[in-house]
Structure 1
């Protein structure tokens, strides 16, 4: 097994070359900057010979870190909206007096929070969305799209503002259909007198 001085001997030989300002023996006679010239064509080499760029610098160029390349990280979030569970009638035991009611549609704006959608169902020509705050919204899809394609729920890519907007975001069904929402309306129950 080699002894410790034999292991560090090669490093000790390179140490005077690596120190800044250190000159090898006989370096006083070297001209500070010289250029290589070929006698035949008299062209100059772009490689200067000086103390700033010694001939052994390629040794340390191999150890230098490689040039970094630009890395782009993208994050994509897909929201899955599942079908609404079947609602049970909790007031089945007590039979209330029959009250005449009707469902009225009111405008609901152009955007809704996508995180507030709790479930979805198709009812006729509209896609009914049950919100987490107990509201019920009806979404009319663009021309040529059927709400029946979305009866098992849908997927949507989360936008930067986290909203589902009219004529901006696409809904993707599990069967492959892609549609935009044409309008939102809120379904409100009113008593008829």
Structure 2
């Protein structure tokens, strides 16, 4: 193979290595349709080994939607958001929220650039939705 052929194949090789299977679809996707912002949030699997537990503290009324990096399922009635500054916020749903399948990810449609309790909802990819009742800030407590 000549050096010219190698240089011609270089963009193809970079593209192949740049799209690793674990990294595809792992970021928040933002879509704007007729002045309505829709955020698709990927759900990350729970870590198997934990040296700490999460302690709930009083949380904010709203969080900036643009700072959400990913989410973790923490139960059938709650989802944990990981924000850009590495803080962890738990969204707790209404009591009448049906058990929804959030494993494939979910959607948020905030009215403004903030996701607020008692106002916004989490929408399953299957069509159901649950309104956010409250936010709790999670603080790690290391086990002895």
TM over 0.5: yes
Determine if the alignment matches structure 1 residue 118 to structure 2 residue 78: no
Query: In the alignment, which of 138, 141, 152 is matched to residue 90 of structure 2?
Result: 138
The question of whether the paired residues in 2 share the 8 Å contact of 1:137 and 1:187 is answered with: yes
Using the alignment, how far apart are the partners of 1:117 and 1:147 within structure 2?
A: 23
* Shift of residue 188, structure 1, vs aligned partner: 0.8
Using the alignment, how far apart are the partners of 2:40 and 2:53 within structure 1?
A: 31
* Shift of residue 103, structure 1, vs aligned partner: 2.3
Return 5+ residue gaps in structure 2 as ranges: 1-33
Aligned pairs for 1:151-170 within 5 A = 151-160=103-112, 162-170=113-121
Cα gap change, 1:147 to 1:127, in 2 (>3 Å): farther
Using the alignment, how far apart are the partners of 1:117 and 1:107 within structure 2?
A: 19
SS of 1:144's equivalent?
coil
Query: Residues 16-45 of structure 1: CA distance to partner in whole angstroms, max 9, x if unpaired?
Result: xxxxxxxxxxxxxxxxxxxxxxxxxxxxxx
Using the alignment, how far apart are the partners of 1:120 and 1:101 within structure 2?
A: 18
Q: RMSD across aligned C-alpha pairs, in angstroms?
A: 2.5
Using the alignment, how far apart are the partners of 1:146 and 1:132 within structure 2?
A: 29
Give the TM-score of the pair, scaled to structure 1. Answer: 0.49
Q: Which has the higher strand share?
A: 2
Query: In the alignment, which of 12, 21, 36 is matched to residue 76 of structure 1?
Result: 36
Return 5+ residue gaps in structure 1 as ranges: 1-73, 90-99
Determine if the alignment matches structure 1 residue 108 to structure 2 residue 68: no
Give the TM-score of the pair, scaled to structure 2. Answer: 0.64
* Shift of residue 78, structure 1, vs aligned partner: 1.3
* Shift of residue 164, structure 1, vs aligned partner: 0.4
Using the alignment, how far apart are the partners of 1:130 and 1:147 within structure 2?
A: 22
Equivalenced residues, count: 109
Determine if the alignment matches structure 1 residue 177 to structure 2 residue 128: yes
Which has the higher relative contact order, 1 or 2, with Cα contacts under 8 A spaced 6 or more apart? 2
